[in-house]
Structure 1
């Protein structure tokens, strides 16, 4: 008796991909229409493709079924180019990204549960990271639990701190994410510049959130290393602080005590550690808990 044999043979993958790509946003044979973004742009798709590739779309399309299966589905909170990138991935398992949409495509990939697309977005963002976008990328990484991207963004910020603190993205960080950045010993900027950057951030956040400066800044201010400042710098800081009360009086008092006692007594050790970019001051040797 002849033995039965079987095998899975593969045709031309490029031709198959090109054929599916030809269906992208093609009204021919389309059986579902999306109205996307503020522009109310029409995007055409095929239910069977969306449903088999994405559980979220399967649920959306099931809920939209019934007597009027071709009724448009309105997606007002996503940009058309972002939505089309998601659709491209669903049809071809590839995605075309640029720096203008990558973070929003990442957001959509999380929203729709598309883990593979999420990974592609993270890799693209890491490879194209810039001073202008790194804070926004870090905020997104924290929001969506992307640990690898978080570490990559933090390392980038540590290397380019002086430029990063002057960006709009820095001003838009949440208090928790800013505090996380300020915990780093490897920030390449002097503490005096960090204090000023946090003050500017706090005033922007206060205006946006309509809350007092001391309230919005409470978390990140705890990470400022005031004992590193020289007496003259600390005196100027104290004068500026009378205008907005950014820094609690007890924190400034503790910094003065370090100067008076010539040691970091009573202050958490991390607040006495110079960062990578800290300019040396004469009194720093007295703050080292391991110094003589």
Structure 2
């Protein structure tokens, strides 16, 4: 059964308040005096509500309404408009703003009001909605605001919030829905208070979702393909060996040559050039929770090639064989009499 419109004297009736020369424009909105358009709003949300308004006022404040009411074809000059996909409270907030430049925004209606204001191109109301949302930043809304808001002061407020709570924000489901540019804007920041492993996990989460969106097999090659330059914003050298081995070492995100260079960088006095930044993020004291590698560093498997070069795996399920000299294995083998 379809929702039946309900109306009130404030929105749809013709009460006495506001009549005559002494009435205000807003009063005529409330009473419906001299209104020439009627909106039936919110059928998708329950019982619809009816709002009366004045085309001239709406057309002056909204390009969408101007087009709706000032079209050249008679059919475009509507007197009755159905808006089933906007919540009545949001439409009421927008009408009040169009008439008075004031609005009753609360945290429980700001999302709906912003979507309504955006739909009808009322940028000043959109900005007020962003201001309220950014004043109540949380892990579950900061990414949405950062992705969609173009007001620089609010964007900066979001980034500073993310800096402070980066571990929790990057672990949230909202990461997967970010645009690549927004993801890059976050991961490139020196000021993130974050464990680098969580930066890597966020990049993996985003790449897996992007492969799904593009209908790609989530192989290591495809995940690299969708990440492109964002991959090099992860500071893999700041991760511990165990994190590297259990993360990109298993997932196939990094090339074998990249993993080998990372292991050599961490365990050898001779540091190879890396494609990844080795600079710590000042926003977080990155700790390497592993012992310094040396001849006694434990290994899980050892092989010798035909030239008697030593290669090792530091865990049995690691996919990459590491040259033994990186962790001093030749010296260790000598100590053992080999």
Scaled by the length of structure 2, the TM-score of the pair is 0.64
Structure 1 equivalent of residue 316 of structure 2: none
How much has 1:127 moved relative to structure 2?
Answer: 1.4
Equivalent residue for 1:172, pick from 153, 173, 177:
177
How much has 1:150 moved relative to structure 2?
Answer: 1.2
Q: Distance in 2 between matches of 1:124 and 1:103?
A: 10
Equivalent residue for 1:240, pick from 222, 237, 250:
250
Q: Distance in 1 between matches of 2:255 and 2:29?
A: 57
Range with bigger deviation, 154-163 or 90-99: 90-99
Q: Which runs of 4+ in 1 moved over 6 A?
A: none
How much has 1:26 moved relative to structure 2?
Answer: 5.3
* Structure 1 unaligned blocks of 5 or more: 1-17, 284-292
Q: Distance in 2 between matches of 1:266 and 1:38?
A: 62
Q: Distance in 2 between matches of 1:44 and 1:29?
A: 9
Structure 2 equivalent of residue 181 of structure 1: 186
Alpha-carbon contact 1:176-1:219 (below 8 Å) kept? no
Structure 1 equivalent of residue 135 of structure 2: 127
Range with bigger deviation, 71-80 or 194-203: 71-80
Alpha-carbon contact 2:70-2:77 (below 8 Å) kept? no
- Structure-2 change in CA distance of 1:30 and 1:175 (3 Å): same
How much has 1:247 moved relative to structure 2?
Answer: 4.0
Equivalent residue for 2:147, pick from 136, 139, 154:
139
Range with bigger deviation, 18-27 or 58-67: 18-27
Does structure 1 residue 217 correspond to structure 2 residue 222?
Answer: no
Equivalent residue for 2:80, pick from 38, 55, 72:
72
- Structure-2 change in CA distance of 1:52 and 1:193 (3 Å): closer
Equivalent residue for 1:272, pick from 275, 278, 293:
278
Q: Distance in 2 between matches of 1:94 and 1:263?
A: 66
User: How many residues get paired?
Assistant: 260
Greater helix share, structure number: 1
CA-atom RMSD, angstroms? 3.3
Alpha-carbon contact 1:31-1:70 (below 8 Å) kept? no
Alignment of 1:9-158 (within 5 A): 19-24=24-29, 27=32, 29-36=34-41, 39=44, 41=48, 42-63=50-71, 66=74, 69-75=77-83, 78-103=86-111, 105-110=113-118, 112-141=120-149, 145-158=150-163
Structure 1 equivalent of residue 196 of structure 2: 191
Q: Distance in 1 between matches of 2:53 and 2:255?
A: 57
- Structure-2 change in CA distance of 1:253 and 1:44 (3 Å): farther
How much has 1:191 moved relative to structure 2?
Answer: 0.6
- Bigger radius of gyration among the two: 2
Scaled by the length of structure 1, the TM-score of the pair is 0.73
